[in-house]
Amino acid sequence: MRISMIGTGYVGLVTGACLAETGNDVWCVDVDAAKIEELRQGKIPIYEPGLDVVVRRNVEQGRLRFTTELKEALDSSLFVFIAVGTPPGDSGEADLGHVFDVARAIGASMDSYKIVVAKSTIPVGTTMKIKETIRNVLDGRGRGDLDFDVAFCPEFLKEGSAVEDFMKPDRIVIGTENNRTAELLKELFSFFTFREERMFAMSVASAELTKYAANAMLATRISFMNELARFCERVGADVTEVRRGMGSDGRIGSAFLYAGIGYGGSCFPKDVKALIHSGRQAGTPFSILEAVEAVNVEQRRWFFEKIGARYGGDLKGKSFALWGLSFKPNTDDVREAPALDLVAWLLDGGATLRAYDPVAEGNARKALAGRPSVARAIEEGRLRFGSDNYEVLEGVHALILLTEWPLFRKPDWERIGSLMAEPVVFDGRNQYDPDRMKSGGFVYLAVGR
Ligand code: UDX
């Protein structure tokens, strides 16, 4: 099938490349000419395991092409996917500016029947507004005769395993206004899932809400566990044991029950905020989600205060090694990463930091440079980045684990102990065994245990 993918961000690039990988002809379109040029040369702007191989292979075999010319792509496509960003606006609402820019551009360029599929995460009702926008532009061009359908197919891929998630999805949700469009989309996606019952055709509004509901539910589980962790510490329970005990109940399941320093990334924080906003607007506020967000914001602060408490609230003259900066392992993405707030707060408190992340250092530097107090601390030499996870440990008063990269899972504790000034470990991701840490001579402070 012939497809245009508008937007070569995370979702667009992965979806476009994977649709090409399964034999479709895909044009990826973006207004960023420099990015398109790099992609043509096989340079991938994001770190995502396996994506470079898929992109290069499909470019070489001529199924995946990149362009800034929307018309060129549209003319040869039946499906037009919209996969541009919907960042949070001032009151938490999804900013739909890019989505409607694309809708207008489609209306201005199309000359034959299309199925316009929204993939960006958008509030309920937006797909129908996209339809209205395209229709208005067509009418303005005197091309009211042109027919098209709209659909909404949410994306559930996770950063760090996006290619695999796309190739082996748990389910495919297809929101359409009519059966014909649903059948065509089912056919397009039939390659990925052999079990028909894993494809859910539904109304456009239900599909739009499914995406928000799924992310909000996962975020709710995490915030619940984080609040439970704080309680565990007060009453002498271990949240990791409680997790195992409760997660083994098939009705609950074990995924997304890991207490830590809170969720980050480009989806959960934004989508929870957007659904809260939509709920308020509709007159049915999500009081649960308001709490989920509040707990998430508090959690990183709670961890920071736990570190401070060990030093009587005074971090001046203390030096810490930080392991991990990305919002989760296997990605260089630092958007809404709890680690960045912790870096800023520790520096504001007067500490000296040495940080190491396997791939996110560059993005962390850029994101942190925007915070004036951090920029000052960098000038004063109080924040340095190390080239490996042992180097940053030399002479520090404690190690703080912020992202659970596989590299950090089984480190050489003897070596670590010999490098550090004091054998103290703050584990923001509950990666280590408290008994072993204790017998290894470490003071071990984790989350909810
Ligand atoms: C998420 C959804 O999982 C995905 O389906 C959707 O398409 C996009 O948003 P992603 O943001 O890539 O994917 O990351 P995910 O693996 O879901 O983790 C999100 C955050 O939650 C991370 O900061 C992670 O550290 C945190 N998390 C996750 C926990 O704190 N505890 C958990 O048990 C699971």
**Residue of the nearest CA to atom 31 in ligand 1?**
258
**Residue of the nearest CA to atom 1 in ligand 1?**
158
Ligand 1 center–CA 123 separation, angstroms: 20
Instruction: Evaluate whether 16 touches 65 at the Cβ level (below 8 Å).
Output: no
pLDDT at residue 29, rounded to an integer:
98
Q: Which residues contact 344 (CB under 8 A, 6 or more apart)?
A: 368, 371, 373, 374
Domain 268-445 of CATH type 3.40.50.720: yes
CA 166 to chain centre: 15
As a whole number, the mean pLDDT across the chain is: 96
How is residue 144 written in tokens?
Answer: 């009211």
pLDDT at residue 113, rounded to an integer:
98
Angle at 100 between CA 97 and CA 103, to 5 degrees: 155
Domain 2-202 of CATH type 3.90.76.10: no
Ligand 1 center–CA 268 separation, angstroms: 7
Q: Which residues contact 173 (CB under 8 A, 6 or more apart)?
A: 153, 154, 200, 202, 207, 210, 211
How is residue 314 written in tokens?
Answer: 């005074």
Q: How many CB atoms lie within 10 A of CB 76?
A: 13
Asked if pLDDT for residue 194 goes beyond 70, the answer is no
Query: For residues 220 and 296, what is the distance between their CA atoms, to the nearest angstrom?
Result: 9
**Residue of the nearest CA to atom 6 in ligand 1?**
156
pLDDT tens digits along 258-300: 999 999 999 999 999 999 999 999 999 999 999 999 999 999 9
Q: Active site includes 267?
A: yes
Query: For residues 327 and 263, what is the distance between their CA atoms, to the nearest angstrom?
Result: 7
Find out whether the beta carbon of 447 lies less than 6 Å from any atom of ligand 1. no
pLDDT at residue 192, rounded to an integer:
67
Asked if pLDDT for residue 193 goes beyond 80, the answer is no
Instruction: Evaluate whether 297 touches 328 at the Cβ level (below 8 Å).
Output: no
pLDDT tens digits along 4-42: 999 999 999 999 999 999 999 999 999 999 999 999 988
Query: For residues 156 and 85, what is the distance between their CA atoms, to the nearest angstrom?
Result: 15
Q: Which of 263, 293, 326, 430 to mutate to test the pocket of ligand 1 (most atoms within 8 A of CB)?
A: 263
What separation in angstroms does the CA of 4 have from each of 12, 25, 98, 281? Answer: 10, 9, 16, 34
pLDDT at residue 179, rounded to an integer:
97
**Residue of the nearest CA to atom 3 in ligand 1?**
158
CATH 3.40.50.720-classified regions of the chain: 2-202, 268-445
Which of 145-159, 191-205, 258-272, 303-317 comes out lowest in average pLDDT?
191-205
Asked if pLDDT for residue 448 goes beyond 90, the answer is yes
pLDDT tens digits along 81-97: 999 999 988 888 989 99
Confidence of residue 191 (pLDDT cuts 50, 70, 90): confident
Query: For residues 329 and 186, what is the distance between their CA atoms, to the nearest angstrom?
Result: 33
Ligand 1 center–CA 155 separation, angstroms: 14
ipTM: 0.97
Report the nearest atom of ligand 1 relative to the CA of 404: 25
CA 299 to chain centre: 18
Find out whether the beta carbon of 212 lies less than 6 Å from any atom of ligand 1. no
Q: For the chain, give the number of residues.
A: 449
- The pTM of this model reads 0.94
Find out whether the beta carbon of 54 lies less than 6 Å from any atom of ligand 1. no
pLDDT tens digits along 300-310: 999 999 999 99
Confidence of residue 316 (pLDDT cuts 50, 70, 90): very high
Radius of gyration of the chain from Cα atoms? 24
Find out whether the beta carbon of 404 lies less than 6 Å from any atom of ligand 1. no
| DSSP assignment string, 93-134 | -B--HHHHHHHHHHHHH--S-EEEEE-S---TTHHHHHHHHH
Find out whether the beta carbon of 263 lies less than 6 Å from any atom of ligand 1. yes
Fill in the amino acid letter for 140: G
Burial of 329 (0-12, 13-18, 19+ CB in 10 A): buried
pLDDT at residue 297, rounded to an integer:
98
pLDDT at residue 197, rounded to an integer:
79
Confidence of residue 349 (pLDDT cuts 50, 70, 90): very high
pLDDT tens digits along 358-380: 999 999 999 999 898 899 999 99
Q: For the residues 148-155, what does the mean pLDDT come to?
A: 97
